[in-house]
Structures are given as structure tokens and as C-alpha cells.
Amino acid sequence: MADDRLHLQQGPIDLILHVDSSEKIRKRLYSTAENRFLTVLEELVEEMDLLKLPWKAEQSEPKGSIAQKMFGAVSDSEVFVTPMAAVAGAVADEMLETLLFEAQNPDSCLEHISRMYVNNGGDISFWLNSGESFSLGVVDNPQIPALNTKVSLAYESPVRGVATSGWRGRSLSLGIADAVTVLAKSAASADVAATLIANQVNVDFPGIEKRPASEVKDESDLGIIPVTVAVPKLPKDKISLALEQGAKTARKLIKTEKITAAYLSLQKQILVIDN
Amino acid sequence: MANSSAKNMSAEKVNCDACPILCRISPGKTGSCDRYGNIDGKLKRMDPVILNQKAIDQHQTLVPFGEQTQQWDGSLLAQDVPLNPESIFPTAVGAGTTYPDYKPAPFIIASKHNEVDMVTVVTEGIFSYCSYKIKIDTDRYVGPEQSTVRCQGEQVGHVMTAEYGSQMLSLGGVHHLTGGSKQEGRVTCQMMMDLGNRKAVELEVDAGSKLTIQAGAAPIIDGNQEARMRVGCGSATIGIFAQQWYGHVDEVIVVDEHITGMLSEHQAGRFLGMEPSGIRVRGRRSTPGRYFQVANPGHGWGGTDVSDPLEIIDRVKEGVAYPGLRLLMVSTTGEDAAYFELDEKLKPVEQPLPQVLQKVVDRIGENCEPALCSVLFMAGAGGSLRAGVTENPVRLTRSVRSMLTRTTCGGAPAYVWPGGGITVMVDVTKMPENSFGSVPTPAIVAPIEFTMKLKDYEILGGHMAQVRRLEDLTQEREAIISNWNEDNPWPFS
């Protein structure tokens, strides 16, 4: 990986940004990103109570631009989900938007940039110039960080966001998937979709342990909903069954054009859903 | 950073104010960032900070911590000795940073020393502007001035000049860290981290030598480990030992790359009433008995390229020199020495070194100090770092300048350069081990502490609301107590 990346961190937000351009442009964009980052967490905290509530049509819209992205990403959901499911992706989208805006104003220097990305702990928002592509490695199990799949996303593809969810990661999951990686138009939509698909990857089997979210992490937006804390080794047919549960949601999301593709993994079994 | 006073009394949860999320963390759990956790009802940073404890003076009365003494032993601290808060200096090693400094430095710690309230602002600075000034004690030729110094083929510095008995290099610096290629920046950053952490670093000088340097260790030049630093230049060596040679020898030539000395012509020999020997050396005469450029620089005698000392003898003057004339040739470290007597044709013939002269040669060696590499870290505390200390950064600069604020790096005293800004220089061997880190920018991360009286801190616009007691810090964050380096002046005195 390049070492001219920018690392920004505050509290739980850990961003790596990269602008593939001349140093002059890169420096200018990074300094804008640094400025934008100053208030990101504060803005979220300000509306945190609202963002932790399950989405409902009659709810009032949040004010902050990141909060609005989160809200937009979960709207119309038929199942339980809070805007917090989109937080990591929305922050990545917002930061990429900041870079894009700076690159276009006052005079556009976009033609001198080949690629840009913002990686927020695995949830990635990126921009490509024509002819460029973005290569992505997928890791099935974060505890065994081996590159399991490589995806190349070209300029022509509508995908500009990638996100991963699973019970082993830092956020909590209702399901047992090791990882669900989703490709979508934005990182926020990918983030929500990955969460929802991973939540559905489930099967009944002794030894799968779930505990109320509030017992695992304080002040979780999931409240007392049980989240996965342990998964024993599963027989192959049970793994297939669990993955198929998630695949149903993935297919629905593809059909409604919310996402482009999903990559589900559980104990070395892989299921790829795309159209 | 968290306030222990914010501890929630009704529940066992603790409040974390490390970031705006303000997590309330239950026992045994970590906050949303996983960096802070509730350990036994206390908010702790999950990675430890390093405190330095001064050895307790036998005559000093211990001031117990009262009821809090309990909190100073057990797993929290490495030692069972009762701790006196006055003996603790909080270093910035492991303190972390608030880069890009949109909030006060990680720790602003108040303590009482000799009845005066002191405050130490502790942060790990991210330095883009930083370099090393290296002093290599050797006469060996390392390369021409301005010559590029390379590490793994990348340009990481240059040869500056020679100081008395030493070669000087400048290594690292902003132009190599961020001004060159990616690879140059990466190699420079790693080299700088290693040097600061007292590891050996291999370097190569363009048109010069291969060097292995390590802070506090003897340099290795082209595969040879240097042992001694010359006692002085050739002329100085003559001056020091003239009296001890007098009467035992008719001429002494001290071979030195810089100034080769010749006893009979030298002021010191003349003073003793020595007669001219008629021996002329090569090179350019500076003043009587002092010669420049008798040979090229190299790895031979006295930092020259000479391995047979007779090479530097230009001629022996008939009518002045005489058969049987006794000649000693010696290097400035005493590592090389040879004794000659002139034969009938006035040709020098090597003879065993007489005991009495051997003694003086040995004494030259004895008076040489061991060859060392000194590694001085130099860095500028820029605007954003200062903002972590005070709302009014220029006042910190002024306070440092007027000596009201003491600047240390990991507890080691820092020399503050005159002129604008806070540009410091510090000997890495006086800092705690592994004080240096890096960020991918690339830039070097190093500890820096500013210590001053509490009232001075207030005057310079310090973040007074963030000032915490040392005792409170250790309750919220794991601390490792390491021994204070007794060679360093105590920052609170």
C-alpha cells in the first residue's frame, strides 16, 4: 500500500484516505479533509439519540449531513434497523464527498486525479477517473487475515462503496456470518446492506451463543436484541442453510437495486450473490 | 481525556471523555473505540504510559499517599517500594498524541515539588521537521564534505564537516522524509526510528566509507570497529608529549590526516632546545612543525591513506641529518607506531621500539577516549503541537525561551536553539528506550514534555481545565514505572 495516505482518528473513527494525484493536489485535498474531520464525531454525537432509534417513516429527519446520509441509507427498510448501521459507511462517503468538492472548486483538478478512496475501518467509499479501477481484497475471517477474494471495480461499474459486516468484527451482529461484504453505489448503502444480510445468516445449532446487545456493549443501539458471541464448528449442511438465509435478503436488495453484489462467508464456505 | 472525578458513583460504570461520544463503560468492557476500558471501576487507556521514577534519596522524607497509597502497588506498578509523587516524572513515551491537535495535549499533569505547584504537559509530537546530527569519534575518512549518505541505496543525509577528532553527519530531515521519492521517505523514516531507538544502522557515503553507527557504540568503518578517538591533532600530540620524548629521540613525526606534527621544528621542540633533524615531510607547511595534507585521507595511519609511514617523508637533508639519528613515527591514537634510525646513507632503518618510547606511545593510547557515535535528535515543535499546550502558542515559545518552561524529551534535557520556534536537540541515549515511533506520512513520533510552574502555565494561556493530578492519571490508565535516568537533571528542580 502507498505511504502517502492520510490517517485520521478520533474516538472509534479510524480513517485512511488516499488521493492518487500529484503531491500538490494531494496535500491540498488532505488539508481540506483534516479540517472537515475536526467536527465529524461531534456532529454525530449531537444527534446520536435520534440516530439510535429504529427507522420509522414518520420520524423527523436529522440535520447533519452525515446523519442524513445514514438516515437515507436505512429509509424504506422493512426490517428492524437503526441509522447507526450506516455510520461507518456514511462517514466514509462524507469524507470522499469533501475530497471531491475540494477537487472541483474553484477550478476542477479532477482530470489530474486518477483515484481517491476513504477507508473507514473496512467500509470504503471511492472515486475513479475514467479508465481507472479499484482493486479490493476480501478477508473472510478478520482473525485469520488472509486475502480470500480479490475484486476489481472498474470505472464503468456503478459501485462506489464497499462495506463488510460480521459477528467477529467490531460491531455487533444478529447473525453468525464471519463476513458479508457488499458492493453498492455508496459506502453507506453497502454498510446497511452488509449489516442486514449478516443479521439474517442464521441456523439453529447447539453451541451458537447469543447475548443481549446491551450486555456486550454499553449503550448499543440494538438494546436487548440478542447478538452473536460464540459460534461452534458447524456441519457443512448447516453452513449452507445459514448462508442461504442471508442470500435471500441479498437477492431482495439486488432486485430493488440497493446493492450490486454480496459476498457471504461462513467457516470457509462462500456464497456470492450478484445479478 | 478522562476525568476520574467524573466517575459515576451510582452505577459501576465509568464515564469516558476521551472523545465526544462520552461512553459510559461497564466493568470489564471497553468503550466504542476499544481503546479505553473500565478496569476495576476505573477508566484506563488499554495501552500503558511510562512514568519515570527517581531513586529515592535516603535522607528524603517520604510523603505517603495517604489512603491512596493502596493504588500505587499491585499490578499497576512494577515495584513494591512506596512511591513518592515527588519522585515521579511523567514522560511522553506512550502518551499518545492528539494530532492534529484539535484538543489539549494527552496529559497535562500537576504535581507539587518543593511546595511549588508544577505542571508538565506531556505529548508525543509528530515531527516532520526533524533530523539527527551525528558525531562519529574517528579520524578515519568517511567521505568528502557535502557527500550523500545513503541507507539501502536511498539518500538519507550528507557529510557535514569534521569537528575535533570527529566526523559529522546530518541524517534524516524533512527533505528526505517527505521531499523525495516514497521509497526515500520510507527508508529515511525507518533509519531515523532505528537510530533514535539506539539500534545499529548501516550507511554508505558516496565516494566514501561504509559505516555502521549506533548511539553510544563505537563506529564500524569499512568493516573495522574503531576503538579510539585521537588524543588531538598531530600538532597537539607533539605539544602534549614533547617533554616525555625529549632526550630519548631526535625527531618525532605524529602522522595525522589534518595536521601532522614534527617535534624538532614545532614550537614545543624548539622550546626544549631541540636541533633541526633535516627530515622534511610532504604536504604544505602551515606553521613551523605543522603540516597539512601530508597524504590523502584514508584508513591508514592517523586517518591518512598511508600504511608505510616513510611514504610521507619527502627527503632527508644532508649536512643536517646524521647517521644514527633516532626517529619515532606515531599516529594520533598511538595505534600505529614505528621507530627508525638513520644508516650511513641517511636512510631510515626500522628498529625495535625502545621501551622508554613504547611507554609514551602507550600513553597516547591511554589518553584517547573511546570512539563513540553520538546521536542527537533535532526537531521543531510546530504550531499544532504547541496548540495542544496552550491556546496562545507563541507564549509557550516565549516561556521556553525565557527559561520559565523546561523542555525535555522523554525526561532527557533538550537544548533549545536560539531564534524563532521551539527547535530542540537531545541526546537519544538519555531518553528511555524505544522512545521513537513513526506515522505513515512519513514523520517521526517522539516524546516531548514542557514543565513549568502552574501559575506560569496559567499566564501563558494553558488548558487549565485539563490539568490533572499525577495520582489521578495512574488510576485511569495503566502506567509502567521505569527508573529515572540519574544522569539527567531533574526537571522539577
Q: From the CA atom positions of chain B, what is the Rg in Å? A: 30
Q: Does A59 touch chain B (CB under 8 A)?
A: no
pLDDT of B136 strictly over 50: yes
Tell me if A47 is assigned to some domain: yes
For residue A88, the surrounding DSSP H or E stretch is helix A87-104
- In chain A, whose CA is at the least distance from the CA of B34? A12
How far apart CA B213 and CA B149 sit, in angstroms, is 12
Domain containing A164 equals 6-274
CB distance B112 to B86 below 8 Å: yes
- Cα B423 from Cα B416, distance rounded (Å): 6
Spell out which residues of chain B touch residue A3, defining contact as CB-CB under 8 Å. Answer: 182, 185-186, 440-442
In this predicted structure, the answer to whether residue A162 has a pLDDT above a threshold of 70 is yes
**Mean pLDDT computed over A11-17:** 87
Whether residue B404 is predicted with pLDDT greater than 50 in this model: the reply is: yes
Q: What is the pLDDT of residue B50?
A: 63
Assigned domain for A1 exists: no
Phi, psi for residue A20 in degrees, rounded to 5: -90, 95
In a domain, A13, yes or no: yes
**Of the candidate ranges B93-102, B182-191, B234-243, B279-288, the one whose mean pLDDT is the lowest:** B93-102
- Asked if A12 lies within 8 A of B21 by C-beta distance, the reply is yes
Is A52 in the B-facing interface, judged by CB distances under 8 Å?
Answer: no
* Residue B57 to residue A115: CA distance in whole angstroms: 62
Residue A139 pLDDT > 60: yes
pLDDT of residue A227: 92
Q: Which three cell numbers stand for residue B226?
A: 574503531
Q: Which pLDDT score is estimated for B1?
A: 40
Alpha-carbon distance of A162 to A119, in angstroms, equals: 9
Q: What ipTM was assigned to the predicted interfaces of this complex?
A: 0.73
- Assess whether pLDDT exceeds 50 at residue B357: yes
Q: If you average pLDDT over residues A45-67, what whole number do you get? A: 89
Region of poorest pLDDT, from A214-223, A228-237, B411-420, B472-481: B472-481
Comparison of pLDDT for A146 and B116, the residue scoring more: B116
Q: Of A249-263, B176-190, B416-430, B463-477, which range is least confident?
A: B463-477
pLDDT of residue A239: 94
Number of Cβ within 10 Å of residue A224's Cβ equals 11
Q: What percent of chain B has pLDDT over 90?
A: 45
Whether B26 and A11 lie within 8 Å, measured CB to CB: no
Q: How far apart are CA B415 and CA B399, in angstroms?
A: 14
Per the domain annotation, does A215 fall within a domain? Answer: yes
Q: How far apart are CA A125 and CA A162, in angstroms?
A: 7
Report how far apart, in Å, the C-alpha atoms of A28 and of each of A25, A102, A103, B187 are: 5, 8, 9, 25
**The pLDDT of residue B231 is above 50:** yes
% of chain B exceeding 70 in pLDDT: 83
Q: Is residue A216 part of a domain?
A: yes
pLDDT exceeds cutoff 50 at B446: yes
Number of structural domains chain A divides into? 1
**DSSP code, position B61:** P
Q: Please indicate whether, in this complex, the C-beta atoms of B23 and A41 are within 8 angstroms of each other.
A: no
- Contact of B34 with chain A, judged by CB distance below 8 Å, is answered with yes
| Across B290-319, average pLDDT | 92
Q: Are B109 and B470 contacting, i.e. CB atoms less than 8 angstroms apart?
A: yes
The amino acid present at B436, given as its one-letter code, is F
CB-based contact, A111 to chain B, within 8 Å: no
pLDDT value of residue B46: 66
pLDDT of B3 > 60? The answer is no
pLDDT of residue A199: 95
Is there a contact between A2 and B26 if contact means CB atoms under 8 Å apart? no
Per CB-CB distance under 8 Å, the chain A contacts of B180 are: none
Q: What is the pLDDT of residues A76-131, one digit of tens each?
A: 888 889 999 999 999 999 999 999 999 998 888 999 999 999 989 888 999 999 99
> Is pLDDT larger for residue B247 or for residue B105?
B247
Residue A218 to residue B182, Cβ atoms within 8 A:
no
User: What pLDDT was estimated at residue B180?
Assistant: 87
Position A3 confidence tier, pLDDT thresholds 50, 70, 90: low
pTM of the predicted structure, to 2 decimals: 0.55
pLDDT score for B146 = 96
Res B298: pLDDT:
85
- Is the residue at A196 inside a domain? yes
Query: Which residue of chain B comes nearest to A16, CA vs CA?
Result: B440
Pick from A11, A34, A219: CB nearest B33: A11
Whichever domain contains A225, its CATH number is 3.10.520.10
